[in-house]
Structure 1
Amino acid sequence: MAVPPFDYEAALLACARGDQNAFQELYQHESPRMLALCTRMLTQSNSAEELMRDTFVSIWKNAQSYDPSLGAARAWIYSIMRYRALNRLRQSGRLRPTAVAWNDSLPNPESVHALPESGLAHAISRLDEDQRRPILMAFYNGYTYEQIATRLKAPAAQIKMQVQEGLRQIREQQAA
């Protein structure tokens, strides 16, 4: 018997109503993946654990601000985590274009081929390298177009066009 997919939207809306069981289910379902991403972004497990706890506290406190018409619930959750992670990296001075070799902190594109074909990671893996790299650099490292252009030795306008085209292709794949 197949397990039904987790309903992030229903969980967030229940959290907004103060449903602690829904929050616990959301935490149990998503915390392993979030911790892995936090660890990847911050590189220190104790900082990653603290970031994840802070993220879930923020999710609980702000669940009522989630608006399903503005985007997917899971994306909302991860945007909170990502914003907090990048903010910590900026505060610590570790978020600089020359601080980390970008390919050391990005996921291996081949590792996403085993993911469901409807997933965002799969859609990103289907982009060509010129589109995928700047998108991942912006997401995982928080780089601006100019910082990505410096790292890749390309004009910022070209990077911006590659990112926009890649995001357009992702939207089309997700809509199909």
Structure 2
Amino acid sequence: MGVRSDAALLAAARSDPGAFRELYDRYAERVLAYHHRRCRDEDAAHDLTAETFAQVWLVRARFRDECDGSAAPWVFGIARNVLLVSVRRRALEARARERLGVLVSPVSVSPQDAWLEGLDDELVPEAVRMRVVDEKDYDEIARELGTTPGAARVRVHRGLAALRKERTR
């Protein structure tokens, strides 16, 4: 038996935890690296990664194969949402404590708004490289970046515009 696609693993994971483990092993390091790039804190990155895969597990039955068997766009979409929810939740909790006058000693790491700055910007240079150097079409770029072809076009456009602007300085 060959390597199973992500879609096959997610379908099997509905009744086979081993299939989910295989999917986890396939993506855990990349998701951890994604979260670490955002928050720059090892413990927070591990917590966010754990929450990402908890969500993947909980919604595994909702996965729809729209990328030729790859679950990368779906998994990283969940990772992005986990990050957004974490930062928003911290802000809501802080405002509630402030209104109630509750003083709480801060935890070692708390989600920061800065984690969201340029959330999609790191994909722009990659999209330009894939389009210009690797000569990939927008569908291929979208699959690899876990986005839509339209969003891939926007990222390439932004990257090329930034390069043109830099060149004229």
TM range (shorter): 0.5 to 0.7
- Confirm or deny: 8 A CA contact 1:40 1:105 kept in the other structure: no
| Partner residue in 2 for 1:107 | 122
TM-score, length of structure 1 as denominator length: 0.55
| Partner residue in 2 for 1:128 | 157
- Confirm or deny: 8 A CA contact 2:49 2:79 kept in the other structure: yes
Q: Percent identity?
A: 21
**Which letter does structure 1 place at the counterpart of 2:9?**
A
TM-score, length of structure 2 as denominator length: 0.57
* Structure 2 runs not aligned, ≥5 long: 92-111, 163-169
Does residue 10 in structure 1 map to residue 31 in structure 2? no
* Structure 1 runs not aligned, ≥5 long: 134-176
Q: Using CA pairs below 8 Å that are at least 6 residues apart, which structure has the higher relative contact order?
A: 2
* Cα separation, 2, equivalents of 1:30 and 1:21: 15
| Partner residue in 2 for 1:90 | 88
Q: How many residues align?
A: 126
* Cα separation, 2, equivalents of 1:132 and 1:92: 35
Q: Which moved more, 1:100-109 or 1:21-30?
A: 100-109
Residue by residue over 1:61-120, the C-alpha shift from the partner in whole angstroms, topping out at 9 and shown as x without a partner, is 22122233699633222222111111112223433xxx4794598327445536973232
Q: What's the CA shift for 1:15?
A: 1.1
What do you get for the CA RMSD once the two structures are aligned?
3.9
